[in-house]
Amino acid sequence: MKIIQYLLVISLIGCAGNITKPSQSKNIVWADDGSEIAIIIEHPEKNLHRISVQDLKTDKQRDITEWRDYKANKIFYMKQAGYFIVESLLENGARRFDKIDENGNEILIIETPDNKNQPCKKDIKEPAQIHHTVIPSPNGSQLANIYSPECGTVTIEFLYAKNLNVFDTQTMDIDEPMRAKWHPDNYIILVNFKNDKAWKVKPIELPSPIFPPQCFYPVTTSSDVSLDGEKVWFDGDKLITKQVDIKFGCQ
Provide the number of structural domains found in the chain: 2
Q: What is the pLDDT of residue 11?
A: 33
Do 107 and 228 fall within a single domain?
yes
Region 35-56 average pLDDT: 90
Residue 20 has pLDDT above 60, yes or no: no
Q: What is the pLDDT of residue 1?
A: 40
Residue 12 has pLDDT above 60, yes or no: no
Instruction: Say if CB 75 and CB 87 are below 8 A apart.
Output: yes
Q: What is the pLDDT of residues 46-85, one digit of tens each?
A: 889 999 999 888 878 899 999 999 888 999 999 999 999 9
Q: What is the pLDDT of residue 234?
A: 85
Nearest alpha-carbon partner for 7 in 44, 59, 53, 57: 53
Q: What is the pLDDT of residue 128?
A: 60
Query: What's the CA gap between 227 and 71, in Å, rounded?
Result: 28
Residue 14 has pLDDT above 60, yes or no: no
Do 5 and 100 fall within a single domain?
yes
Query: What's the CA gap between 196 and 52, in Å, rounded?
Result: 39
Displacement of CA 227 from its chain's centroid (Å): 16
Do 166 and 142 fall within a single domain?
yes
Q: Which domain holds residue 195?
A: 118-220
Do 11 and 80 fall within a single domain?
yes
Q: What is the pLDDT of residue 201?
A: 98
Do 129 and 189 fall within a single domain?
yes
pLDDT band at 2 (very low <50, low <70, confident <90, very high): very low
**pTM listed for this prediction:** 0.86
Residue 44 has pLDDT above 90, yes or no: no
The most confident of 119-123, 186-190, 239-243, by mean pLDDT: 186-190
Do 107 and 123 fall within a single domain?
no
Amino acid 43 reads: H
Q: What is the pLDDT of residue 116?
A: 82
Residue 125 has pLDDT above 80, yes or no: no
